[in-house]
Amino acid sequence: MKRVFIVLLLLSLVIGMTGCVITVPNITAPSLPQNQTPATPTPKQPLDTGWSPPQLQTEAPTLPSIADVVEKVYPSVVAINTEVVTMDIFRTPLTQEGAGSGWIIDKDGIIVTNNHVVEGAKKVTVELNDGRTFEADPKNIHTDPFTDLAVIKIDATDLPAASVGDSTKLRVGDWVVAIGNPLGEGIRAKEGTISGLKVSLNVEQGQTLDDLIETSAAINPGNSGGPLVNMKAEVIGITSAKVAAIGVEGLGYAISTKTAIPIIEQLIKQGYIVRPWLGVTLYTVDQYVAMVNRLPVNKGVVVAYVRPGGPAAEAGLRELDVITRFKGQEVTTAEKLIDAIHESKIGEEVTITFVRGNETKTTTARLIQSPSPGS
């Protein structure tokens, strides 16, 4: 009986092993078509037998000392605090506080900042780096809304004026430092690089800032009016605006010294900027503007206001006329028309084509010098 059991066990092992056998199919290499021979590889030729690997640089270049730059410019940067009176929905006066920045351009108390920092303020206070505070007389605050620049004169002397550099020498990638009063928390410095030059930015209807410097330096509310400086501790721009959106990294902008210095000079010497003047308030026409105002066209520049006695009034222009051509050139935005006016000459006679109702008319206007603010 035992022998029968052993025989059966051996038989079952043999059968089990047979079931584990894996059959491998025959693999046949592909054959070439008849009368075709394998391609002969092309012999490789050397590219340059005399070439040798470049020498590896063992030391990285040293970055400029931002601390040295900041230390030199800091005494010339000021904090500007403002008070503006506004009305709530019940027409009750409210006083709102604002903060901005500025920098000393002249040792006898002349400060440069942005127009929007001081615009409409009933009180402007300038705090120096040494802790002294001065309230500016409104008569000594001169502004140019078109370029967003302003100068303030305070009753102080022997101040540490900042050096001014040549913004035309800048290159994309240059290191810069933005110094100012972010969030009204005191003077701070933030480094970055130049990411764009000669940039134009539409800041509001009818106003475009040109020749801007775009930088990666962090700029926040309160930085406006502060200096953007190069690695020689020279002011090469005046911080003016910031673009930020969800999902988009913030872009900081500064007005170049090439654009700013001539404006600053006029503000200091005569109190306002002299430009060719038509005497109108303009607005770009689009489908919405055309529908709301029942305009006959949906493209052009609508006249929102005509200054009595000004060149436009003398030429017969009226409110809601839509200007379509200026000096023979088509105009489609208020910014382009304003630029064309400013690029003209004082005393120049210009042709203006406009639409009124169902009629297209042409008139001429003689541009005059822009009046002083308040006149």
Q: Are 182 and 170 in contact (CB under 8 A)?
A: no
Angstrom distance (rounded) from CA 331 to CA 351: 13
287-to-259, 284, 300, 325, 335 alpha-carbon distances in Å: 34, 10, 11, 19, 18
Positive/negative CA dihedral, 231, 236, 242, 245: negative
290, 300, 326, 350, 362 from 329: Cα distances, Å? 21, 12, 5, 11, 13
**Three-state SS at 292:** helix
Judge contact between 211 and 152, C-beta under 8 A.
no
Give the tokens for residue 108. 């006898």
3-state secondary structure (DSSP) of residue 272: coil
Burial class for 257, CB neighbours closer than 10 Å (0-12, 13-18, 19+): buried
SS3 99: strand
Query: Which residues participate in catalysis according to the annotation?
Result: 116, 148, 224
